[in-house]
Amino acid sequence: MNPSKYLYLFISFILLSFSEGSAQEKANYPKNEFRAVWIATVVNIDWPKSGSDPIEKQKADYLEILDTYKKLNYNAVIVQIRSVGDAFFPSKLAPWSKYLTGKEGLAPNPYYDPLEWMITEAHNRGFEFHAWLNPYRATMDLRTDILSPTHDYFKHPEWMIKYGGKYYYNPALPEVQTHLIAVVDEVVRNYDIDAIHFDDYFYPYKIAGENFNDTASFKKYGGGMSLADWRRLNVNNFVKYCSFSIKTIKPWVQFGISPFGVWRNKSVDPRGSDTNSGQTNYDDLFADPVAWMENCWIDYLLPQLYWSIDHKTASYAKLIKWWAENSTNTAIYMGNGSYKINTDSDKKWNIPSEIPDQIDLTRTYKNIGGNAFFSAKSFVNRNKAVTDLLLQNQYKYPALPYVVPNSRRTDIEMPAVTNITTNHLISTVTLNYPLLSKIRYVLVYGAKDSSKLDVNNPSQIIDKIAFKEKKDSISIKIQKSLLEKNNICAISFIDYYGNESQAVLLNKTTETKTIQSSLNDENR
């Protein structure tokens, strides 16, 4: 499209509709698919590379991760903001993380709010931002001398249980659950996140010969239950009340959990999977994802299936089939172990097509909506043979994440264009500020043939622009390099739940001057 002719958008616009989809259909290039990457901060796995790095280097390294995955057409980042009773943001409930500043309790210098900045940069690139917290782990070792005086270990030593060379919050204590929910609430209230995310660490993985010493709590609160059932009830209650709290504060914020990949083995429960996993969610971590789904406490489940397709004891193929057949009431995605590429004793991970084949297998299940990959450093200047395959095939085109379950709407406010100005680099489109819908993005479509614009075709998505809120109007900038490749364009809104509005066709005229809006301010 020639930007010099792209000067005014008719008020009597053409509307383009979309096909509805609540689950992924088998397609080489689906328009809707969850494509996420975990960015782990604990012990500086992915980011920051070091807590002692200057802030500008830390920022540059984070942006490199975002830019890498944007080029790979991912659409969500799951960023760890609390790993050991600490915080990557100014918190009234936890000290600054040592993985951010090199010393627990030490604020960034020069001061800034890393979480606010990370969210903004992610949204600017079209990503959902899922705030990842480890609720129960309090430390990574027993070195209490390096903890901040404001760490809960010192403020509430009665909350702590020593196990496996670490300290954990006692999941049984009502005051612990209240505190941890307050931590979640603080993030939800203060930050423009898209989701709260927990991983697989509930009760800790079992260690031979060592007991998790919650005997006193069990005696006080057990109520005649078995130890295992009581522990599962503690976790269930925490998940339930977290969910209620999140939705009360911001209904559009998703609540997702990525449990260990095996619920139970069939050898102990006929409902379990055909696996021989040494530990399982239900029996060892006292986490019951099936109950979370059945009770509608979560928006999405993301089981960690970090095995190859034909693994002998825990096959990706067998497990994805089990999760597909046993999921209900929630979106479900698969977690993939990209960290194993060329590093694992299972030599299947040396084959570049293992991850692409896992994605293809995921797409054969209509009720599984995508994948997430652990972890971010796997594809940042690494494993080019795999990323080339993804870009050439599975992730050739962009995709949109699915709508938050039970939040699908078709009455999203449509873009109303009032003006456009252009120069040799960009076109600036001015829109009326939407009053009826809370908008996250403006999506731009383009096609070379004006008769073949298809908003259901992901190859025609040419940009996803973060919506910058203003009281009166909003301006978006579309690059000339994107527009000049197309003879016709359209734009749509995406709201905070992920719903997409009908698209408005952008009409070219031969005008050579900018036409100002005829609408009065009070009507904009």
DSSP string, 166-199: EEEE-TT-HHHHHHHHHHHHHHHHHS--SEEEE-
At residue 227, the pLDDT reads 98
At residue 216, the pLDDT reads 98
At residue 521, the pLDDT reads 33
Amino acid at 427: S
At residue 507, the pLDDT reads 58
At residue 89, the pLDDT reads 98
Cα–Cα dist 241/126, whole Å: 30
Long-range contacts of 360-364, Cβ-Cβ distance < 8 Å, separation of 24 or more: 360/394, 361/309, 361/316, 361/317, 361/320, 362/320, 362/334, 363/24, 363/26, 363/27, 363/30, 364/26
CB atoms within 10 A of CB 67: 13
Within 13 Å, how many C-alpha atoms sit on residue 445's CB side? Answer: 30
Q: How many residues does the chain have?
A: 524
Strand 34-39 versus strand 417-422 pairing type? unpaired
At residue 27, the pLDDT reads 66
* Unique residue bearing structure tokens 């293992």: 354
At residue 459, the pLDDT reads 96
Please give the class, per CATH, of domain 3-17+408-523.
mainly beta
What is the rounded (10 degree) CA torsion for 386, 260, 264, 211? 140
Residue closest to 423 by CA, chosen among 17, 31, 2, 107: 2
At residue 345, the pLDDT reads 97
> Where along the chain do the CATH 2.60.40 domains lie?
3-17+408-523
Mean pLDDT in order along the chain per 10 residues (524 residues): 39 44 63 98 98 98 98 98 98 98 98 98 98 98 98 98 98 98 98 98 96 98 98 98 98 97 98 97 98 98 98 97 97 98 98 98 98 98 98 98 88 90 85 91 92 93 88 82 84 97 72 31 30
Q: Which pTM was predicted?
A: 0.93
At residue 478, the pLDDT reads 87
Residue closest to 341 by CA, chosen among 387, 299, 301: 387
Note whether 271 and 264 are within 8 A (CB). Answer: yes
At residue 515, the pLDDT reads 30
> Where along the chain do the CATH 3.20.20.80 domains lie?
34-392
CATH number of 34-392: 3.20.20.80
Amino acid at 2: N
